[in-house]
Amino acid sequence: MPDLDAINRYIQARRHREELERVTAIEANRWLAEAGLLRDETDTPGKPLRDLLRGHKIWGAWQDPPRSHGQWFIGPVQRQPSCHRRGASQPKRPRESAGPLASSPMARSGSAKRSTAETEQVVAAVFEDVLHVPFSGQYSFRGVEGGEWGHCDRHAWLGDDILLVLEIERGQHHPEGNVAKLWPWLRENPEKRALLIHAYTSDAVALNGSRDRVASWLAETMTKSLRGRFVYERRVVDLKQPVVERTGALRKLLREFRA
């Protein structure tokens, strides 16, 4: 049986140390595995912690949207909940609560505008949960002769030579640039392959505009030119209810690209 007190204290201490307002279940489970407090699963990262979250055993947790398919987040708590103190029993959770969910930034998403950093974290969490892949931060596409072609919002290495790239569009007026920078990088690194997920928020300024169409055309041209080394997937994420459609097709695409 995992030490719930140690797990909760570690998550809160690590979150505070890294100055994060909230953390996803996948990232928190990775922390716990590194600390030897809770195992993780390679095929479904974050599942052991999500099991504890569903059992209401983690402090400061909420689900957004608050339904079975919602994303799990862990944020700050004002004090150690009495139900988690050593020797205390776990009370039944009320059907309706004004706890962490009601006061969290995620719960206020319908009425309050998120910052760019907050938007990126929410969208990245959606794709992490769908693909069971933990994303890291920005990645710089460096040129062989110095300088760089640009950087992406999130990335994950799926092996030594396979890069999963997540670009998130909201305020960007030139989304085609987030596609184009991969072309010279892949030309200069012929052993590499890249899968680009181009995620537009439902209120993105470039959504369905001419620059959006240019980005799709450019991606199609790159796909043909790079012959199996580049795959492009465009998706729209509704920020009012952060979910992505056709998740099965997206997982299949990832599996095939990794093969």
Q: In what order do the strands lie in the sheet with 71-74?
A: 23-24, 71-74, 61-64
- 25 and 128 within one domain: no
- 238 and 149 within one domain: yes
Residue 132 has a pLDDT of: 87
Residues in the chain, pLDDT under 70: 68-69, 78-114
Residue 78 has a pLDDT of: 58
Residue 99 DSSP code = S
- 37 and 158 within one domain: no
- 146 and 125 within one domain: yes
Contact 177, 219 (CB under 8 A): no
Residue 113 has a pLDDT of: 62
- Whether the bond between 105 and the residue before it is cis, its omega within 30 degrees of 0, is no
- 160 and 68 within one domain: no
Number of domains in the chain: 2
Residue 65 has a pLDDT of: 74
Residue 48 has a pLDDT of: 94
- 165 and 57 within one domain: no
Of 109, 138, 153, the one marking the end of a domain is 109
- CA-closest candidate to residue 115, choices 239, 12, 250: 239
State the Cα–Cα distance between residues 74 and 34, nearest whole angstrom. 18
Neighbouring-strand partners of residue 214: none
Contact 53, 69 (CB under 8 A): no
- 127 and 103 within one domain: no
- 216 and 159 within one domain: yes
- 237 and 126 within one domain: yes
Of 90, 109, 128, the one marking the end of a domain is 109
Residue 136 has a pLDDT of: 87
Of 109, 132, 158, the one marking the end of a domain is 109
Residue 20 has a pLDDT of: 84
- 203 and 234 within one domain: yes
- CA-closest candidate to residue 253, choices 222, 232, 237: 232
- 254 and 185 within one domain: yes
- 123 and 81 within one domain: no
What is the DSSP code string of 105-122? Answer: TTGGGGTSPPPHHHHHHH
Residue 64 has a pLDDT of: 79
Rg (CA), the chain: 20
pTM: 0.61
Contacts 24+ apart (CB under 8 A), 204-210: 204/169, 204/170, 204/171, 204/172, 204/175, 205/170, 205/171, 205/172, 205/173, 206/169, 206/172, 206/173, 206/174, 206/175, 207/169, 207/236
Q: What is the CATH number of the domain that holds 241?
A: 3.40.1350
Structural domain boundaries enclosing 199: 116-258
